[in-house]
Structure 1
């Protein structure tokens, strides 16, 4: 993370262009070591040696095997200080002990055994960790996990839809309190299994059942009387309810939300379920939702690739921006549609690829976004790797730190602008500036000298 007191050091430590001698020097400073932990590149042996001299185990805890040479792995394994020698193993053991997610390769590395052995380890917490991270495990391994004596292991084995639960194991799993709610989300249910689950009266189980994509029309009808807002939204998204029923259910949840019901707020705002069945529905059935009052149905429809042109025109002008964004991701989205959408609403940077990366986006217009009044839309100009220096200078003087950060990371930045941003009052800006590969070695050395390194 960015070191708030020495951001230039933490940024420089993760600069991919930093030469070996710079990294060796910076390893002597705690801020530099924190930045070093975020490097993606393989560390030279000399840098690892420097870390062994100065690190208290923090960097070693996150140092995955592929980032260091075999010689350095042996060096760490025989280090006299247990804080160094055992840092990585202790970190992984801590994740296992807490039941946190761990990378399967890390488990194999630390425990020194292949996954096929770890899945039968004496420690149930380790078996659960393997079950939670080995997503493509074979059927025979899954069967063994489903019969594990420890409930936490069985729960971890059924948390995801894949590799799933064999048909002959469904009754047993649906009767198992440790995994019942997990399995009720996704396995096809018989009427008897459905009624037995509903008879529990358990809120979590009822919500899981309501979200099951395999429910029959009779099962969905049985759920209509439940007043749980999360159940109501799940039922409203079913293909087995008509438009009037769907509208009624959404209206009831909206009323619950207006009364301050937290679950209703979650159901309407933070619930990420979708009517996935629409994706496989015939075209005529999907098109019947083009005028649906509820945006989630139009959004799923917009994820299609075989709609007639008139439908695309309607979706490109939908009142819901999320619907428009989804429609704009189709391969033949018109350039003007893409530009208009991004110019009006900016980008969603956690959703890749970006709309400006669409093959049809008119990238020659990117630099004109500098003149937009909205800061998050102006930020889009930085997606042009050859953005002219005057534009970078303008954005680098913006009041908003996120704009200055974008400039600090830009490949076309000048020495003068980079130097200015290294002294930015926002530590994150200075950190990004120090991490820019355009930073010259002479300036890197100045940063080290100023820190007495």
Structure 2
């Protein structure tokens, strides 16, 4: 993250081209230490020593095993200051106590025991941490966690569908208030188990059951008339619901949403449930969903890779942008489809890889995006690593700070551009300019001198 008070220092600490002595000097300043905490890769021993000298235990907390040499790990383990020596272990123990998820390797290192032994530790919070972190645990360990006397451990052991619940444990888990909602979401249910869950009249339980992919047609039929919007959307996505019923359920939730219902808006726009079963249906059956009124079905269809050309043409022109973007991720998307989509709507860089990195994207067209009206589309031009300096100057003058940040990170940024962006009033822009590896060492030392570092 950027240091709001000294963004040039925090950015410089992230600069992969910064000399070692620059990083050592930055370790003496809080903003520099802030940036060093975000820096990629292993830190030199001299930098680690400077961090420990100036940052003490706070700095030691951020020194993960993969960031320091084995020699420095031994140095910290034998450090005379307990605040430094115990910083990492204290941080892990504090996370366990606060029930914040911790990596399994950190748990084994700090508690000095293998995960198999930690699963039976005396502290229930530690056992719960193991249940959270050890995701590929064998079923023998899972059975021990399911039988744990502490409800927090049992809940942690069942929050994910894997490694799952053995059939012989299903009744016991469904009767356990600590795990019932977790388990009802993914285990196959018998008729009696379904009926018992419905008798609880618990909203969370009903919503979990409605999202269960193993429900029979009879079970789904019993959920159709419930007025909970989350249940309605989940039921509407069931394989056992016909198109008329599905449209009716969605229409009810959409009407509630238009009337101002927050629950309905969440059910429509923020649920992670999707009709994933559609991927496994025969091609002829899947093709019938090309005309489905609900975009989520067309998005799932667009995830398939065996559709005929006519289906791809339809999906590439779908009225829903998410459907079009999903379809565009197939391996053989035509270049003109990719360019048209990105030129019209920009890209989603939080989803990797973005469409501009698709092998078929016409990279030669990137610089033509500079003149587009939408600033989010103009940003696409910055994906050209050889974008002309004139274009960079044009984008650096934009009122949108995210465009100026893109220029600040660009490998073709000139000294003049970086000087301009280092003085930008938006801290994130100055931070990114200082982090650009094309920044000259002389400018780096000047930043230090100006900050009296």
Which residue of structure 2 lines up, in the alignment, with residue 190 of structure 1? 190
Runs (4+) of structure 1 exceeding 6 A deviation are none
For residues 262 and 243 of structure 1, the distance between their equivalents in structure 2, rounded to whole angstroms, comes to 26
Deviation at 1:125, TM superposition (A): 0.3
Q: Is the 8 A contact 1:174 1:180 kept in 2?
A: yes
Which residue of structure 1 lines up, in the alignment, with residue 18 of structure 2? 18
Which residue of structure 1 lines up, in the alignment, with residue 164 of structure 2? 164
Number of equivalences: 453
Instruction: Find the residue that maps to 1:290 and give its secondary structure.
Output: helix
Which residue of structure 1 lines up, in the alignment, with residue 330 of structure 2? 330
Instruction: Find the residue that maps to 1:55 and give its secondary structure.
Output: helix
Which residue of structure 1 lines up, in the alignment, with residue 441 of structure 2? 441
Deviation at 1:85, TM superposition (A): 2.3
Q: Please identify, of 131-140 and 57-66, the stretch whose mean Cα deviation from structure 2 is larger.
A: 57-66
Which residue of structure 1 lines up, in the alignment, with residue 102 of structure 2? 102
Q: Is the 8 A contact 1:36 1:59 kept in 2?
A: no
Which residue of structure 2 lines up, in the alignment, with residue 292 of structure 1? 292
For residues 111 and 324 of structure 2, the distance between their equivalents in structure 1, rounded to whole angstroms, comes to 48
Which residue of structure 2 lines up, in the alignment, with residue 87 of structure 1? 87
Tell me the TM-score normalised to structure 2 length.
0.98
For residues 258 and 400 of structure 2, the distance between their equivalents in structure 1, rounded to whole angstroms, comes to 34
For residues 446 and 276 of structure 1, the distance between their equivalents in structure 2, rounded to whole angstroms, comes to 56
For residues 51 and 362 of structure 1, the distance between their equivalents in structure 2, rounded to whole angstroms, comes to 46
Matches within 5 A, 1:202-241: 202-241=202-241
Deviation at 1:7, TM superposition (A): 0.4
Deviation at 1:225, TM superposition (A): 1.9
Which residue of structure 1 lines up, in the alignment, with residue 259 of structure 2? 259
Which residue of structure 1 lines up, in the alignment, with residue 2 of structure 2? 2
Which residue of structure 2 lines up, in the alignment, with residue 405 of structure 1? 405
Deviation at 1:251, TM superposition (A): 1.0
Q: Is the 8 A contact 1:55 1:84 kept in 2?
A: no
For residues 35 and 82 of structure 2, the distance between their equivalents in structure 1, rounded to whole angstroms, comes to 23
Which residue of structure 1 lines up, in the alignment, with residue 67 of structure 2? 67
Asked if residue 381 in structure 1 is aligned to residue 386 in structure 2, the reply is: no
Deviation at 1:83, TM superposition (A): 2.8
Which residue of structure 1 lines up, in the alignment, with residue 123 of structure 2? 123
Q: Please identify, of 210-219 and 170-179, the stretch whose mean Cα deviation from structure 2 is larger.
A: 170-179
Which residue of structure 2 lines up, in the alignment, with residue 312 of structure 1? 312
Which digits, 9 at most, give the CA deviation of each residue in 1:121-170, with x for residues without a partner? 11110110111011111111111111111111011011101111111111
User: Any stretches of 5+ residues in structure 1 without a counterpart?
Assistant: none
Deviation at 1:110, TM superposition (A): 2.0
- The CA RMSD measured in Å over matched residues stands at 1.1
Q: Is the 8 A contact 2:52 2:59 kept in 1?
A: no
Deviation at 1:77, TM superposition (A): 2.3
User: Any stretches of 5+ residues in structure 2 without a counterpart?
Assistant: none
For residues 442 and 362 of structure 1, the distance between their equivalents in structure 2, rounded to whole angstroms, comes to 38
Which residue of structure 1 lines up, in the alignment, with residue 248 of structure 2? 248
Tell me the TM-score normalised to structure 1 length.
0.98
For residues 258 and 183 of structure 2, the distance between their equivalents in structure 1, rounded to whole angstroms, comes to 33
